[in-house]
Amino acid sequence: MRSMTENELTDVVVERYRATPDARLQEILLSLIRHAHAFVRDVRLTETEWMKGVEFLTATGHMCDDKRQEMILLSDNLGISALVNMVSAGVPEGATETTVLGPFYVPNSPQRAWGESILLRDSDEIPLIVHGRVVDEDGTPLPGAGIEVWQTDSNGMYDIQDSSQPEDNLRGHYTANEEGRFLIRSIRPTSYPIPTDGPVGVLLRATNRHPFRPAHLHAIVTAPGHQPLTTHLFDAEDKYLDSDVVFAVKESLIRKFTKNEDPGAAERFGLSGPFWELDNDFVLSKARS
Ligand code: BEZ
Ligand code: FE
């Protein structure tokens, strides 16, 4: 048997996987093999470098548990999560755009009443009121829609990263009323660094990249017959909007948080002083059949 060329090796490997019965799995695997082989040829990868890569991925896996997902963080940092979101989102014109879920989502957070605060600790910070409607693409309100939100506390950490925070601090589910309206009480989010004490931190330092995400509120909005929406609302004044470490900012999701000093408005929202206000409608698209 004569020895193979580099390109022939790729063809042989691809052919060995061609019998994969699931057509989509076959398409993905064959393309993955071709691209991975092309990458090895392109950079003329050495065996030492390949072992370093294997060790890096092994360390990334070892850092994962039910509270820490370093694999997702790696995908986020390489822009892969943002790219998968871009190619699969397919949101129609006029509907609110989606962005990445991120590794700090916790399912089954508590239900919150109309206007109840998701901040579960004492605070003298200026409150934030987020209000608006959940509507469909024609502007028709969607009563009973679910609005699930989560964000970091003012120290830049999510509750699951920081044992000093009460459980479920700054996360919860709200329900839209009969007019599709919702009222969320919180505090203004801050920019924060993603965790850098694992392999992703090693990667960031080796590549001279900062670890910050611009301030945002996460939301998952759902209504029967409509596409579930996973998104963020970004603070227009944040200095990291153009350099989000995970590449997940979309211009249409940037919002102005305004300071409302009108005592009458404060009273209407059950507050006694100035507050940050964000008026935002979520626009859901019809479920794809
Ligand atoms: C987040 O916004 O929670 C997040 C997203 C991607 C990576 C790290 C954090
Ligand atoms: Fe976040």
Helix (H), strand (E) at residue 67: none
CA–CA distance, 200 with 245 (Å, rounded to integer): 11
**Residue 152 CA, ligand 2 centroid: distance in Å:** 7
Burial class of 32 by CB neighbour count within 10 A (0 to 12, 13 to 18, 19+): exposed
CA–CA distance, 195 with 202 (Å, rounded to integer): 11
Domain-wise residue ranges, the chain = 6-45, 80-284
Residue 91 has pLDDT above 90, yes or no: no
Q: Give the number of other Cβ atoms within 10 Å of residue 78's Cβ.
A: 14
Quick: pLDDT tens for 28-66: 999 999 999 999 999 999 999 999 999 999 999 999 998
User: Which residue, 219, 234, 83, 86, is CA-closest to 149?
Assistant: 219
User: Which residue, 260, 225, 251, 268, is CA-closest to 134?
Assistant: 225
Averaged over 163-182, what is the pLDDT? 97
Nearest ligand, CA 196: 1
Nearest CA to ligand 1 atom 7: 102
Note if the pTM is more than 0.85: yes
The domain 80-284 having CATH identifier 2.40.50.140: the answer here is no
Residues making up the chain, counted from first to last: 289
**Residue 203 CA, ligand 2 centroid: distance in Å:** 20
